[in-house]
Amino acid sequence: MKKIAVIGTGYVGLVTGTCFAETGNEVICVDIDSDKVDLLKKGVVPIYEPHLDAIFHRNIKSNRISFTTDLEMAVDFAEIIFLALPTPPGEDGSADLSYVLAVADQLGSMMKEFKVIVDKSTVPVGTSERVKNKIAEKASVQFAVVSNPEFLREGFAVDDFLNPDRVVIGTENSRAIQIMTELYQPFVTDDHRLIVMDEKSAELTKYAANAFLATKITFMNEVANFCELVGADVDKVRLGIGSDSRIGHKFLYPGIGFGGSCFPKDVNALVRSGNDAGYSFEVIKSVLKVNDKQKVRLYEKVKNHYNDLKGKRFALWGLAFKPDTDDIREASSLYIIDELVKAGAEVVAFDPEAMSNVKRQIGDIITYSDNQYDVLDGCDALLIATEWSVFRNPDFDKMKLKLKKPVIFDGRNIFSTEQMVDLGFYYNSIGRDLIK
Ligand code: NAD
């Protein structure tokens, strides 16, 4: 059993704290947002993440996890202090380290004995060094700083945390390596790997992984766009290339661009880090450019189809940047909505989890429906921006009755083109035959 403090209770911090409690540790989660802490204390999980609710409540009942706004009390309690703080994009695209460094600045004077400070936030190479220096300015005890980048995916966060492909521990401090190895031992079974390396390599591992995945998605999006021009079918090409074990089947699904809180900001931050070091990352600069265009590709398709969008009414299925999350950061849906509204169209949206977040961000420039069928009432077409499971096998007869015309623009390729022909829909998807 270890005593742990997790600073920041967002998607990463809350999952980290809960999963460490689940493996028998005692965890205090700290957040600066007192409303959030009040909710957590009342047993309310403020984010949607599958399976989190159940293990959260189990560990609250067992008194293994608690919540506070009191950083000093948490630092006093814990041997290991995780930083799961935001690193949003700054104005120039680089990672804004102000949250991480502000907390590091407070830690030094609060520490009364040896502590391991673990950075779980995604940060540029060299940040551990900066955190170390910041803490050292006020510290009178020994401490170690570890880079432990997080690879969990929203929507699968609990499963990913409990069964990670790998755990990266970046430190050269032998005491910290021992403590971190013991802590992660329950998650690192025979099949899994705990990889110990230096801090800088650990920091870069996270950015390199995200940039590579963003590149894979974008490559496939370009292949899909080309398929549409030459009459090839991206589903067949995907199967054909994915069967090559050097390529693999994962992350080859074309769509309307990557979004979320990580890929766009991390790829931008890597480009920026490259610039700072005098290196120009040409591949990932292009990835960002192509992705910007792909995000409005569904809008372009709608525009090309109707020409004039004034007075048209569109139903939108999906607002979250991907299924199984309520996260809308950099979601393609928001870019599509923006273009449709600018072009004079009306938008009615439905999402199983993300509607309140969107309402908070863009308010009433669109309307919302709490039912995936009612949203279709009187609409000229349905647009699909997120591949939620509930959309995959719908009542097509009901949809036909509600839509003015059976027209679907699908940005996530959730239906088969053959099925849509049989059902008599006009079906426009990404990189596949256009069904008229
Ligand atoms: P988030 O915005 O959901 O949560 C951050 C939390 O930190 C918020 O609750 C905020 O109130 C709190 N906070 C801010 N300043 C604080 C302070 N001084 N003291 C205490 N709490 C404070 O962020 P997130 O999505 O959990 O991401 C955290 C980090 O993890 C980022 O660097 C991100 O890039 C990285 N990451 C995120 C994911 C993901 O899928 N979300 C995956 C891997 C890595």
Instruction: State which ligand 1 atom lies nearest to the alpha carbon of 153.
Output: 40
- 16: confidence class by pLDDT, cuts 50, 70, 90: very high
Task: Tell me the C-alpha distance between 266 and 100, whole Å.
Answer: 16
- 436: confidence class by pLDDT, cuts 50, 70, 90: low
Catalytic residue selected from 19, 29, 227, 262? 262
Instruction: State which ligand 1 atom lies nearest to the alpha carbon of 13.
Output: 26
Nearest CA to ligand 1 atom 5: 10
Active site residue 262: yes
Distance 31 CA to ligand 1 centre (A): 10
What does the pLDDT average to over 389-407? 97
Instruction: State which ligand 1 atom lies nearest to the alpha carbon of 87.
Output: 32
Residues 106-121 pLDDT 10s: 999 999 999 999 999 9
Nearest CA to ligand 1 atom 37: 12
What does the pLDDT average to over 323-330? 94
Nearest CA to ligand 1 atom 4: 10
Nearest CA to ligand 1 atom 41: 11
Distance 90 CA to ligand 1 centre (A): 15
Task: Tell me the C-alpha distance between 97 and 384, whole Å.
Answer: 36
| pLDDT computed for residue 419 by the predictor | 93
Q: Tell whether the model's pLDDT for residue 142 goes beyond 80.
A: yes
φ, ψ of residue 340 to 5 degrees: the values are: -65, -45
Q: Tell whether the model's pLDDT for residue 191 goes beyond 90.
A: no
Task: Tell me the C-alpha distance between 196 and 180, whole Å.
Answer: 10
Distance 266 CA to ligand 1 centre (A): 14
Superfamily of domain 295-428: NAD(P)-binding Rossmann-like Domain (3.40.50.720)
Which 3 state secondary structure label does DSSP give 171?
A: coil
Instruction: State which ligand 1 atom lies nearest to the alpha carbon of 121.
Output: 32
Nearest to 338 by CA among 386, 299, 382: 299
Nearest CA to ligand 1 atom 29: 121
User: 1 with 63: CB under 8 angstroms?
Assistant: no
| pLDDT computed for residue 192 by the predictor | 67
19, 31, 258: residue to mutate for ligand 1 pocket, most atoms within 8 A of CB: 31
Edge-to-edge order in the sheet of strand 313-317: 367-368, 346-350, 313-317, 381-384, 407-410, 426-428
| pLDDT computed for residue 261 by the predictor | 85
Distance 79 CA to ligand 1 centre (A): 21
| pLDDT computed for residue 271 by the predictor | 96
Distance 83 CA to ligand 1 centre (A): 8
| pLDDT computed for residue 335 by the predictor | 97
| pLDDT computed for residue 91 by the predictor | 87
Which 3 state secondary structure label does DSSP give 133?
A: helix
Residues within 6 Å of ligand 1 by CB: 7-13, 30-33, 36, 84-87, 99, 102-103, 120-122, 150, 152, 154, 261-262
Does domain 3-196 fall under CATH 3.40.50.970? My reply is no
pLDDT > 90: percent of the chain? 95
Report the Cα 139 to chain-centroid distance in Å: 35
| pLDDT computed for residue 239 by the predictor | 97
What does the pLDDT average to over 362-389? 97
Q: Model pTM greater than 0.85?
A: yes
What does the pLDDT average to over 141-163? 96
CATH architecture of 207-292: Orthogonal Bundle (1.10)
Instruction: State which ligand 1 atom lies nearest to the alpha carbon of 266.
Output: 34
Which 3 state secondary structure label does DSSP give 285?
A: helix
Q: Where do the CATH 1.10.1040.10 domains begin and end in the chain?
A: 207-292
Nearest to 22 by CA among 51, 59, 52: 59
Instruction: State which ligand 1 atom lies nearest to the alpha carbon of 103.
Output: 18
Tokens 């809350």 locate to: 14
Distance 16 CA to ligand 1 centre (A): 11
| pLDDT computed for residue 433 by the predictor | 78
Residues 31-66 pLDDT 10s: 999 999 999 999 999 998 999 999 999 999 999 999
- 174: confidence class by pLDDT, cuts 50, 70, 90: very high
What does the pLDDT average to over 415-426? 94
Distance 392 CA to ligand 1 centre (A): 32
Question: Which amino acid makes up residue 384?
Answer: I
Tokens of 219: 């490559």
Nearest CA to ligand 1 atom 42: 152
126 Cβ contact partners less than 8 Å away, ≥ 6 residues apart: 200, 203
- 69: confidence class by pLDDT, cuts 50, 70, 90: very high
Long-range contact list for 135-139, CB < 8 A, 24+ apart? 135/104, 135/107, 135/108, 135/111, 136/108, 137/105, 137/108, 138/105, 138/108, 138/109, 139/107, 139/108, 139/109, 139/111
Q: Where do the CATH 3.40.50.720 domains begin and end in the chain?
A: 3-196, 295-428
Radius of gyration of the chain (CA): 23
User: What torsion, rounded to 10 degrees, do the Cα atoms 229, 230, 235, 239 define?
Assistant: -140
Task: Tell me the C-alpha distance between 429 and 432, whole Å.
Answer: 6
User: 146 with 80: CB under 8 angstroms?
Assistant: no
Nearest to 10 by CA among 122, 94, 115, 93: 122
| pLDDT computed for residue 77 by the predictor | 98
DSSP per-residue string spanning 324-382: T----TT-HHHHHHHHHHHTT-EEEEE-SS-HHHHHHHHGGGSEE-SSTTGGGTT-SEE
